[in-house]
């Protein structure tokens, strides 16, 4: 039988190893594309985001459709004011102006969304240098979302985001008139559902608009420090 002191040492080591494994863990890199159906430069970035969605499980792509192109001949049906406001906050950190297509990686870096090499490099850097502040899990059931944030260090807003997996739209006017656009992970809603301050936290929120939902932890400076896809409690995972 092992001495109590040795058992305590083993338990402490196991705890530290588990903590380290989580800190270096496999949360997806969050890639936000600010785009518009009225922007002729955006379709290549939209296609790139679709490829990320289809081929990279380690990346969480989200397409935020902005409204400021709507006055130029085509109103993007997926644009909303919240996308404009979110991009404006990023503009304060990066270029001091908004443009499309802009891609923001983990809230820490931005590139032109159609520049695949720059975006891929930024994603790879985020994977190796990204921060996970706390364990994060979310489950959908009975019309609501249950969120569990573990203990950690720091402060963060807890965001619930709803998105549609894919839309195909025939464009009738504007810069993309005559084209049919296929767009992925189109954000339909975004709400702040709580604040995390380092202690373990459990939240319950109404489901938001969108076919699928994700939860983000966003630091006060805009950096993403946690991300989890919401799992449907009524769906049995494939073996």
Distance CA 66, CA 50 (A): 18
**DSSP secondary structure string, 68-98?**
TTGGGT---TT--HHHHHHHHHHHHHTTSS-
Q: What's the pLDDT score for residue 96?
A: 87
pLDDT tens-digit readout, 55-98: 999 999 999 999 999 999 999 999 999 999 999 999 999 988 99
**DSSP secondary structure string, 162-177?**
EEEEEEEEE--SSTTT
Residue 20 has pLDDT above 70, yes or no: no
Q: Nearest 5°: CA angle at 136, between 133 and 137?
A: 175
Q: Is this model's pTM higher than 0.95 or not? A: no
Q: What's the pLDDT score for residue 8?
A: 39
Nearest to 213, CA basis, from 167, 148, 161, 166? 161
Q: What's the pLDDT score for residue 143?
A: 84
Q: What's the pLDDT score for residue 95?
A: 86
Distance CA 45, CA 113 (A): 5
pLDDT > 90 fraction of the chain, expressed in percent and rounded: 83
- Of the pLDDT bands very low, low, confident and very high (cuts 50, 70, 90), residue 131 is confident
List, in sequence order, every beta strand (DSSP E) within the chain: 29-35, 59-65, 102-105, 109-112, 136-141, 144-149, 156-170, 180-196, 201-206, 212-218, 224-229, 231-232
pLDDT > 70 fraction of the chain, expressed in percent and rounded: 88
The number of residues making up the chain comes to 239
Beta bridge partners of 109: 105
SS3 160: strand
Please provide the average confidence, as pLDDT, over all residues in the chain: 89
pLDDT tens-digit readout, 180-237: 999 999 999 999 999 999 999 999 999 999 999 999 999 999 999 999 999 998 775 5
Residue 233's H or E segment, with its range, is none
Q: Which domains does the chain have, with CATH numbers?
A: 4-232 (3.40.30.10)
Residue 156 has pLDDT above 60, yes or no: yes
Residues 6+ apart with CB under 8 A from 69: 36, 37, 38, 39, 76, 79, 100, 174
Q: What's the pLDDT score for residue 236?
A: 55
The residue-averaged pLDDT of 161-183 equals: 98
Residue 135 has pLDDT above 60, yes or no: yes
């Amino acid at each position: 039988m092992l001495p109590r002191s040795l058992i305590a040492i083993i338990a402490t080591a196991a705890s530290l190893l588990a903590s380290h494994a989580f800190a270096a863990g496999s949360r997806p890199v969050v890639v936000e594309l600010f785009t518009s159906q009225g922007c002729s430069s955006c379709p290549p970035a939209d296609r790139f985001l679709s490829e990320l969605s289809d081929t990279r499980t380690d990346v969480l792509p989200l397409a935020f459709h902005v409204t400021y192109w709507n006055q130029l001949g085509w109103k993007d049906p997926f644009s909303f004011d919240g996308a404009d406001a979110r991009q404006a906050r990023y503009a304060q950190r990066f270029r001091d102006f908004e443009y499309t297509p802009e891609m923001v990686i983990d809230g820490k870096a931005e590139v032109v969304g159609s520049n695949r090499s720059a975006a891929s490099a930024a994603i790879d850097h985020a994977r190796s240098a990204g921060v996970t502040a706390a364990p994060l899990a979310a489950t959908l059931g009975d019309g609501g979302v249950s969120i569990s944030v573990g203990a950690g260090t720091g402060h963060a807003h807890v965001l619930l985001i709803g998105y549609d997996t894919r839309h195909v739209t025939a464009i009738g006017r504007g810069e993309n008139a005559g084209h049919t656009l296929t767009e992925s992970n189109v954000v339909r809603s975004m709400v702040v559902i709580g604040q995390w301050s380092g202690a373990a936290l459990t939240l319950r929120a109404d489901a938001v608009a969108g076919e699928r939902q994700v939860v983000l932890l966003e630091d006060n400076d805009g950096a993403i420090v946690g991300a989890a896809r919401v799992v449907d409690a009524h769906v049995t995972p494939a073996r």
